Amino acid sequence: MLELGAKFLLSYLIGSVMGALLIGRLTGGVDIRKQGSGNAGGTNALRTQGWLFALGVVVIDVGKGAIGAGVIPGLELPLIGTSEKVSREWLTISCATAAVMGHVWPVWHEFRGGKGAATLVGTLSVLMPVLLVPVLLTWVLMLVTTGYVGLSTMSAGIAAPVFLAVTRLPADQPVFIYCVAMALYLVFSHRANIARMRDGNENRMTRAMLPHMSERRSGSIVNNASVLGWRAQKGQAHYAAAKAGVMALTRCAALEAADDGVRINAVAPSLATHPFLAKVTPQEVLDELEAREAFGRGAEPWEVANVMVFLASDYASYMTGEVVSVSSQRA
């Protein structure tokens, strides 16, 4: 038990090294806990200090999670040694947990840290690297479709135990228990974000990135809407209303950002084919939607992405406030 306690403490102390505050001190004494959301994590670093500062924060925070889970459990500590009574797997889980706890409640920084998402990713990269695929894919998908970083982080955390439950349990039960605990923690730590989303006050990526683009007087934002923002479909009133809101946001924000040299446009796909859609949509509905398209099929994701790349590039330098339909329904 002495080995477990010592390595848990060491992992906690390493986790308490805050990337945001370390880089802040090296760049003029910036404390991002006094700016933006007040959180000492990568998202607030991006919103208040820019992408280069945020990249350094993420590298440090992910790295200390990997060290906590991958290096500390195997160390030979002087005067302590190793104990055969301690399960190596549960020792690793304990050290991973300690690294996340250190980030959230850092002893070096008055126990005021971040939410631990990046450090959690670092621990998963050691515990089970394959989990990074569903976790990162879920995060990107949710960010693209909703624009909420907090919701994307919670969804990604939930994706890890769901993936294990479907594919690996019970072979990786300790990791599964760890992932369930971390998913519950991420939801709890984002309770303020949940309240802001409920009240309609949560920051989206457009609002988060616009100040940095305006400061350098250049940039391009591409939002993701849908043709249902213009058209009608039974059973999709909620979705259509949300996408119409994205279109209105795009047009209004584009006017506000134009003076700063920032362009804001949106794509409006009609039907994009991907496995997630097939899982939640009856085949007869998919067949009906595909029949409306001139090519008799939905767009491949890359076909939608090509239009987004065009809008983001300098080839679309004169376009702003536009919603571009990615559809073959008008043919």
Q: Mapping DSSP to helix (H, G, I), strand (E, B) and coil, where does residue 113 land? A: coil
Q: Is the peptide bond prior to 78 cis by the omega test (within 30 degrees of 0)?
A: no
**Which pTM value belongs to this model?**
0.63
Which of the two residues, 286 and 9, has the higher pLDDT score? 9
Residues known to be catalytic: 239
Q: Cα–chain-centroid distance for residue 121?
A: 11
Write the DSSP symbol of residue 300.
P
State how far the Cα of 234 lies from the Cα of 222, in Å rounded to an integer. Answer: 27
Give the phi and the psi of residue 76 in degrees, each rounded to 5.
Answer: -100, 100
CB atoms within 10 A of CB 230: 14
- 20: pLDDT strictly greater than 70: yes
pLDDT confidence tier of residue 3, bands split at 50, 70 and 90: confident
Report residue 170's pLDDT band, with 50, 70 and 90 as the boundaries: low
As given in the structure block, the two tokens for residue 299 are 């767009």
315 pLDDT higher than 90: yes
CA 125 to centroid of chain Cα atoms: 16
- Domains delineated in the chain: 1-127 (no CATH), 130-202 (no CATH), 205-326 (3.40.50.720)
Whether residue 265 contacts residue 250, with contact meaning beta carbons closer than 8 Å, is answered with yes
Sheet architecture: strand order including 262-269: 219-224, 262-269, 323-326
The answer to whether residue 207 scores a pLDDT higher than 70 is no
Mean pLDDT calculated for residue range 129-157: 87
Q: What is the pLDDT of residue 51?
A: 77
DSSP state of 278: H
